[in-house]
Structure 1
Amino acid sequence: MGWRILADATMVLHFTFVAFVVAGGFLAWRWPRAIVPHLLAAGWGLCIAVFRFNCPLTWVEDRARERAGSAGLDGGFIDTYLTGVIYPERYLVLIQLLAATAVAVSWAGLAYRVSARPS
């Protein structure tokens, strides 16, 4: 039971992390200090997408599922829970471009908000 809870909690944490990578820059509009963890998260997300690094959260979830007696993940987190489930596989590149656009817009908006602040 404990391994299953760890696996499910890791999955939820992973969804939260992916959401933060995509939309965390918008949080910095309200809380500018959030930009530092967002830069780190977005950088890690970029490295995973471009260089195919293995995500430690995927590893933890996979091992916990195996120890709980379930099959491990067939692929990475995105491959298992998003691609082919939330959006068709043929749209993966489009989704990645939309996510990158959301990050860029959030950063541009933050830069504008910071520069437009009265001194």
Structure 2
Amino acid sequence: MPYRVLADLIAVTHVAFIAYVVAGGFLAWRWPRTIGAHVIAVAWGFGTILIGFDCPLTHAENWARRQAAVAELPPTGFIDHYLTGVIYPDSALGLVRLLAATAVLASWIGYVRLHHRHRHLSSGAV
């Protein structure tokens, strides 16, 4: 039972990480020091998709599932198991990826504009 709870906690952490990859740049508008962490998270998140990096959270969840004698995630991974076909249809995967990338890009553009404007205003320039 404790390993099953651990597997569930890891899954929740995984969802939170994915949400941070997609929307964390908007948090940097309010807390600018978080932009570095967001850049790293995006590089890792998109790297798992584009390059095929192994995700340590998937490995940790599978370990906890094995300890709990529960079936492991399929080889296709966390997103395919919990999100694709569940939250959005399989046919929308490309659109979901495009929307996620657009959200990241928009958050970074907004960050740069806000940060540049703040620096510009605080320097006394008009």
> What's the TM-score once normalised by structure 2's chain length?
0.92
Q: Counterpart of 1:29? A: 29
CA RMSD of aligned residues (A): 0.7
State the percentage of identical aligned residues: 53
Q: TM-score, normalised by structure 1?
A: 0.97
Q: Which ranges in structure 1 are unaligned for 5 or more consecutive residues?
A: none
Matched ranges for 1:80-91 at <5 A: 80-91=81-92
Task: Give distance in 2, aligned partners of 1:81 and 1:41.
Answer: 20
Structure 2: give runs of 5+ residues left out of the alignment. Answer: none
Report the 3-state secondary structure (helix = DSSP H, G, I; strand = E; otherwise coil) of the residue aligned with 1:116: helix
Cα distance between partner residues in 2 of 1:21 and 1:78: 13
- Inter-partner Cα distance in structure 2 for 1:69 and 1:29: 44
Deviation string 1:9-44 (CA, Å, 9 cap, x unpaired) is 100100000000000000000000010110000000
Dislocated runs of 4+, deviation >2 Å: none
Query: 1:4: how far off?
Result: 0.9
User: Which has the higher Rg, Structure 1 or Structure 2?
Assistant: 2
Which residue is equivalent to 2:55?
55
Query: Is structure 2 residue 113 aligned with structure 1 residue 112?
Result: yes
Name the residue aligned to 1:102: 103
